[in-house]
Amino acid sequence: MGQQVRRRPQGNVQFQANSKVSISLSRGMIYRELYLKLRGIPTLPAVGNSQAATLIGDEWGIVKRIDLIANNTDVLRSLSGNQLWWLNYFMYGVPPDVTPGIGDEATADPPFASHLVLPLWMPRSLRPMDTALDARELSDLKLEITWGQYTDINATATAWATDPVLEVHSLESFGAKGPFSQWRMYAIEKTIAATAAQFQVQLPVGPMYRGFLMNFTDAGKDANDILNNFKLISGTTVFADIPALLLNECDRLRLSCSRFWDDGVAAGVYDHLRRGSTYNSLEGWYFYDHVTDGYLSESIDTLGFSEFELELDVTVGAGTTKAFILPLQIVPVRGK
């Protein structure tokens, strides 16, 4: 008998303002993806429901962090709801649905019901199953959500008309034979204090690296004028040396990532650069993929490296300037 596939609900993560709430995920199968549905209704007057008052991440701004933790201590994923939105965009090639009522300057108490995928196997690879999450021998597996508050969606919101909730569903299988490499992803946050031609971000050595999801912000807004050049190096070996504009345009084209959001909403509310908020900008996000033919063996194996780092040419903005680097790490099964 070949692989058998199952899709089922795992449970709901209930809202608790500015707190961490977790649910235990079932074990005994091999996870391919988790599906997250975020729903709720903020109390928000129509006059305050503007693009300018809508904050970065739109409704996903209330999900401050998503942590997937195995065996109580092993963090497999750690990223914000907004960062997951952009990971979905680059990994699946289309922007996830947005909520038309958020930022439309007309809707009071805009309801939202938004969906994202938390991939546990690696899309855009020839054999995604090689990196699926084998939960059969784990002692514990949980999804931990760090909640924000309604003012993380819109600065003029005053309460919740309906408390948010995050529904968790899974795509699993059994009957597959391992071993399975482990995909890890987490966010590195760096403050850029001054313009620098060689701003360095040190990376742990040992894992394999498929690529990097990167975001640059100025005064809390996505910014397209911070990164000038991207370089990936180890000692004198240069794995990548790419101007930011080329990385943004050509790699997005190669990945078949659409530049356009939903055209079915009011003119001027959404455009090809942002969602509901002027804080969101497509041009402030970059995705470097070192695997160009789908074979994960093209990933950079840093086992035995003495150093591994990003060397970025950056220009400091007018406000607090930050870089968010999310490495796509693979911990392979190595021979003894």
- The first and second tokens of residue 258, run together, are 């659409």
The range of the structural domain enclosing residue 288 comes to 4-331
DSSP codes of every residue in 155-220: TT--EEEEEEEEEEEEEEEES------EEEEE-EEEEE-S-EEEEEEE--SSSEEEEEEEEEEETT
CB atoms within 10 A of CB 112: 23
Give domain status of residue 114, yes or no.
Answer: yes
Q: What is the pLDDT of residue 325?
A: 98
For residue range 10-28, list pLDDT tens digits in order: 999 999 999 999 999 999 8
Query: Which amino acid is it at 92?
Result: Y
Confidence of residue 36 (pLDDT cuts 50, 70, 90): very high
What single DSSP character describes residue 55? P
HSE at residue 18, side-chain half, CA atoms within 13 A, is 4
Supply the pLDDT for residue 246: 95
Mean pLDDT of the chain: 93
Is position 259 within any domain? yes
Q: Does residue 317 fall inside a structural domain?
A: yes
In a domain, 111, yes or no: yes
Residue 325 maps to a domain: yes
pTM of this prediction exceeds 0.85: yes
Structurally, the chain folds into a number of domains equal to 1
Q: Is residue 336 part of a domain?
A: no
- Domain contains 141: yes
* All residues at 6 or more sequence positions from 94 whose CB lies less than 8 Å from its CB, including other chains: 257, 258
pLDDT digits (tens, 9 = 90+) for 106-122: 999 999 999 999 999 99
CATH code for position 83: 2.70.9.10
Query: Residue 126 is which amino acid?
Result: L
